[in-house]
A and B are shown apart, each in its own frame.
Chain A
Amino acid sequence: MAQAVVAVHTHENEKQKQLSIANQKLAMWLYLGSEIVIFSILIGGYAIFRVNHPENVHAVHDNVGLVLVSINTFLLLTSSWAMVMGLREIQRKNRQGFLQWFGAMTVLGIIFIVLQWYEYKELAHLNITLGGTAELYGDFGSRFYTPTAFHGAHVIIGVLWGLLVMYRGYQGRYDDNPVGVEVFGLYWHFVDVVWIILFTLIYLV
């Protein structure tokens, strides 16, 4: 009889746990839905400028190389892979593996930010700045810096959040329920998806 009571309570706890997992993930998806709208406005602003001022964009492409930004793109893709591998490990109760993969993800994110800062420096040397741009490049500056810097801010927040997740994982908080890692993963992968779109639209098209 007592065992039956324990069984009922455990069943209820399990149900609560599953509901909590579903709620947390739904909340993150809803947040990502709002982020889609925000980023789309910024990307749309660039897209309209690209359509109406192709000569300015071509001038920038002629003077700015693709090597640095391509490396950056590979770095972010690799960090996304490291993130999901870390999640896989924590779901297998492998805390050590989780910390290794997450460490790699964080390092790659930091390198991405550093390289992005370096690229901004290079563009500043070409007189492509947020406030004003050389006549050759028109109003490219503001259309470029707004979406990329907003994305960069998201990467910085992601790196800090990732460090927090690593710390909590080290404490063993995700051994039984890794949903916190998965929720962070949704955010990090979304940042990666945004960069995929930005890289293609701004640097290649």
Chain B
Amino acid sequence: MFDALIEGLFLVLQWKAFSLMLVGMGLGFCVGLLPGIGGAATLALMIPFVFKMSPVEAFAFLLGMHSVAATTGDITSILFGVPGEGLSAATVVDGYPMAKRGEAGRALGAALMSSLVGALIGAVTLAISIPIVRPLVLTFGSPELFMLSVIGIACITSLSGLSARGQIRGFATGMLGLLLSTIGQERQSGSLRFDMGLMYLWEGLDLVPVLVGIFAIPELVDLAVRGTSIAGDRPAENLSRGVMEGIKDTFRHFWLVFRCSAIGVFVGIMPGAGGGVAQWMAYAHAVQSAKDAKDRERFGKGDVRGVLGPGAANNSKEGGDLVPTIAFGVPGSGAMAILLGAFMIMGLVPGPDMLTKHLAVTYSMVWTLVIANIITVLLSLAVLNQLAKVTHIRGGLIIPFVLLLVFVGSYTANGQIADLIVTFCFGLLGYLMVTWGWPRPPLVLGFVLGKLVETYLFISVSRYGFAWLAHPIVIFLIVLMVVVIAYPFVREKPAWVGGGD
């Protein structure tokens, strides 16, 4: 095994594989910065180019691109409040307020370093877990995956106010998100729901226009209202010091980064749990880790922990995602399903062969994740000084350019004018929600998880009736869900009992 690990490293370091990895990284860097054009779509576009490559070269190219897109997506989220990737939305919640406070360098430093740590943890997990993860994945059927999604929804508790009314608002907006996810064709029977006679809605609302609209438009409106630069009239931060501070923050809160990375790996390993879930669960966990209500108040207003958690989970998920893809040929996400296509093109069959005959190729993927992330973070740190200066440019100059990115990004979802209208509507909704004090993160969490919850619930009930509720892992997960919901209240008991409605 150790020999294969070393062989995998040398395979990646061969000049051709390494050069292709650098090319892939360059593409991934740009794709990550552009809102809407996700890593999965770019993987699909690049698949035709791998036909003449060897397996190691092809995976160095594709994985180099994919892993970098996850990292650089955070940069746009922090600088403009526009999710660079659909999955980077949770980074916006605290990253953009930090940029508004003149701490863009610190936020970027924290995001990049936590992404690197997350990616390394994901890669190490991939390296050591492939032979032992089989029983875990096979134990998780639809009931367990349903409960896992419900735990994700239970994270709403952490994202809502701790008062009774705050909790109601959190759960109500979460439910609104769940309802929005039901728009379109119902997967089991094929019936149409809330399609308003529009063919556009048959496939349901796409994540990109919804996320970009609900997060980016309100921030752009606020920028226009303020009439200043993103960082306002605050003096420019000492960028080098700010970036270093962000890097130090990663190690100051290393235990949190580690836990959030573990969440990312776990969600990644579970096939079909969805990439967006990992970031939001990690974000909710970061909020739950606040010492008390006062400490918790900092989240959403620019707390570096709100950047560290999602940043780490977003990248550790990539390693986790690869585990079921390589070990069983079960893709953990859309991107991995496309990568599975590359396996077929290369003539590789995911499964036992990847752990025996092609173990060196498998480890070359691990090394690609490690090397690509290290190079990206180092390169990004080198150009951060220039990137962060954007936050000091007058808002009036920035707004039309960001609007261009927002709407072209949304348009990539379906290539229809309706994508722009959906973005506008959710922008308006997001603006009203912030103005009126209703939280947006629970809505997004509900929307992201809605389809999964409904599908897994349907399969569980169809297959097991209600007997699935007695599955041992389901019972464990129900207990875990109760803990997730009760934890913020138990922690805040004196304040909550005395200060609630």
Are A and B associated in one complex?
A: no
